[in-house]
Amino acid sequence: MGPVPDLTDRAQACARRLTEADSVLLASHIDADGLTSAAIASTALERAAVPHDVVFKKQLDETEIASIAASDHDTVLFTDFGSGQLDVISKHEAAGDFEPIIADHHQPADAETEFHLNPLLEGINGASELSGAGASYLLARALAAATGDPDGNRDLAALAVVGAVGDMQAVDGELVGANRGIVEEGAEAGVLEEGTDLALYGKQTRPLPKLLEYASEVRIPGVTNDETGAVGFLEGLPVDFHRGDGEATDGEWRRWVDLSDDEKQTVASSLLQRALERGVPPGKAERLVGTTYTLTDEATGTTLRDASEFSTLLNATARYERADVGLAVCLGDRGDAFDRARKLLENHRRNLSEGLEQVKRRGVDQAEHIQYFDAGDEIRETIVGIVAGMALGVEGVDGSRPIIAFAEKNDEETKVSARGTGRLVGKGLDLSTVMTEASRSVGGDGGGHDIAAGATIPTGEEESFVEAADSIVAEQLG
């Protein structure tokens, strides 16, 4: 059977076909979900003794599919993409270029193919119940079964959970639906532990004051973004948060993972109380505590032990086009590749804070209903959206209107990123529509989600874009 019975038949058919292939090209998407998808599929193919190569693509368009077709593999396994490009892929299939096998969770294009593993084909939600890594995990389990080991490959559930968390599939912090079945198999195999813990990013690696200061999940006045406040809060608690015996240890703070359960309890309940005292609504303050996924085979206090920190590390490699580094870490490299990945993450954080400083320094421009800034070539187009989202909370930027950011993509194109807030979405804001319609009106294209969306437009059309976006937002919020 497997963790998601509704998809078992499809997974088995794909697995059987793979074991018959002469040579497989595994093509995957470059992000945390795509990297874990590739690591899971590659490990499973390796264990099943199926020869294969791995390639990564930022996006799968006609040109990229043609280049895949030009490689001399008889079979192509697409993970975390492929369904949406099935119309193009099936033409290559009909021409005899390759046999496609797809393990994906995105909306399929209007075409059919025989070996297609996608939750949406069985009425399972592809945004919250199964990720690309989850689909690859089902395939890996079926591959093990096809080669005589029905319980095999369950250790890969840990990577599947990292992929799902990285793809933002956790609903209110928790994995549900088909993802649950994977969590359970991982727990049975002894590689995963689900627990309830402080839901802040950095529990494994950050010194306590930094953990509290930088946490943006729930903003606590006097603690969040407030170094003195965070230190003061900790010093007011009846626990010694410094390392060692307390004498020769000035300055060295412990991390969350270094605390005993009692100490954790003290911090968590005091933090909750502080949040409520400072006016954080109870429904929001509750989110300080949530479900966490621990990779029990990884060393305590490393980025890789917590699924959320692991996925952030992978995204940092992907954003800087170092999929090779992210894949190597997923496959178990704890030496050079792991060091390199940590440096990329450090560098990513520095770029974000420098980007935010730049926005603060230069300020944002105001239209009637939106605000915007043009970062030119000073902020990378791959991170300008994150910077825009961070800017919505800082002094001098209006937190009550959507923000739009421009960054140079190349000589001819500008990347546009838009960010809103939950409150604005509640009032009718849908940035996906704004980005799609405004970009098309100036000869570009875009899309995304109601709260965060993006577009690419021809360089020089920025002003017309702002005008178009401004009037669509006016309608939505009017």
- Residue ranges that bind Mn ion, judged by CB under 5 A: 33, 80, 132, 167
CB of 30 or CB of 212, closer to Mn ion? 30
CB of 167 or CB of 306, closer to Mn ion? 167
Give the closest residue to 205 by CA, choosing from 349, 356, 394, 382. 349
SS3 assignment for 185-226: HHHHCCCEEEEEEECCCCCCCCEHHHHHHHCCCCCCCCCCCC
Closest approach, Cβ 133 to Mn ion, in A, equals: 7
Give the closest residue to 160 by CA, choosing from 137, 177, 181, 127. 137
Closest approach, Cβ 390 to Mn ion, in A, equals: 23
Closest approach, Cβ 118 to Mn ion, in A, equals: 11
CA atoms of 347 and 336, how far apart (whole Å): 16
**Contact by Cβ (8 Å): 23, 74:** yes
CA atoms of 308 and 474, how far apart (whole Å): 36
Closest approach, Cβ 105 to Mn ion, in A, equals: 6
Closest approach, Cβ 169 to Mn ion, in A, equals: 9
Which of the 8 DSSP states describes residue 103?
E
CB of 157 or CB of 370, closer to Mn ion? 157
Strands 52-57 and 24-29: parallel
Closest approach, Cβ 359 to Mn ion, in A, equals: 29
347: CB partners within 8 A, 6+ apart: 316, 320
Count Cα neighbours of 103 within 13 Å in the Cβ-side half-sphere: 38
Closest approach, Cβ 420 to Mn ion, in A, equals: 22
